Amino acid sequence: MIEKFMSLNTVGVPLDRGNVDTDAIIPARYLKTLKRTGLGVGLFFAWRYDMDGKEQPDFPLNRPEYRGGKVLVAWENFGCGSSREHAVWALMDFGFRAVIAPSYSDIFHNNCLKNGMLPVTLPAAAVRSLIDALLAAPGGKVEVDLAGQTVTGPNGDIHAFRVASFAKTCLLEGLDEIALTLTSAAEIDRYERERKKATPWLFLDLAG
């Protein structure tokens, strides 16, 4: 069951970088867990702390003006690299509920939706204006309205965004996708019966 997505009006946190990969979002050594919770401690670890474990004061997540922000704004190809869903779990555990970027890796985008986190895609120019505004006046608020499909920047500029209708419903209602898919169980059964006739070699048990 995913968390319902609520509209946000919160401090926007600018991350003025492109191609932010999931190894940067959550380093591999934090993946040795059996849980989905508690991953916030490792979020952006190598960027938040120096080699001696001291906070890097300039990194946006460490600056007092940005603390508690729930919307992260970053550049293109956000969440590229490893498929680790831990990246989304870490962002959410830290408090983020939405990311705004010009593009995402496919897997990261999917992983967000499965967890009730909203990946907003905006044109590069809109992202530029948001990042610039948040850097110029730290602590500025960003409003994310999923029902209305708009982002309102700190300067009051409104950006419309698109979201797949199914994903939107799932986010707003917190739907359980597996339970939903299982309502198609009869179709899956039928598919398997037919495929078994056409390609029987794919139905041999791998466990022998």
Residues binding another protein: what is the number (CB under 8 A)? Answer: 64
Q: Of the candidates 54, 58, 156, 178, which one interacts with another protein according to CB under 8 A?
A: 178
Nearer to another protein, 10 or 111 (CB): 111
Give dist(CA 136, CA 21) in Å, integer.
Answer: 25
Distances (CA, A) of 20 to 44, 135, 181: 10, 18, 32
| Beta-carbon contacts of residue 108 (< 8 Å; ≥ 6 apart) | 22, 78, 79, 80, 87, 88, 119
Contact pattern from residue 120 through residue 159 relative to another protein, giving x for each residue in contact according to CB under 8 A and a dash for the rest: ----------------------------------------
Q: Residue 206: count other Cβ atoms within 10 Å of its Cβ.
A: 4
Asked if residue 53 binds another protein (CB under 8 A), the reply is: no
Q: Give the residues across from 55 on adjacent strands.
A: 49
Residue 80 DSSP symbol: B
Write out the binding residues for another protein, residues 62-121 only, by CB under 8 A: 75-77, 80-85, 88, 103, 105-107, 110-111, 114-115
**Sequence letter at residue 164:** A
Which residues contact another protein (rule: CB under 8 A)? 16-19, 21, 23-24, 27-29, 31-36, 45-46, 51, 75-77, 80-85, 88, 103, 105-107, 110-111, 114-115, 164-166, 176-179, 181-182, 184-185, 187-188, 191-192, 195, 198-208
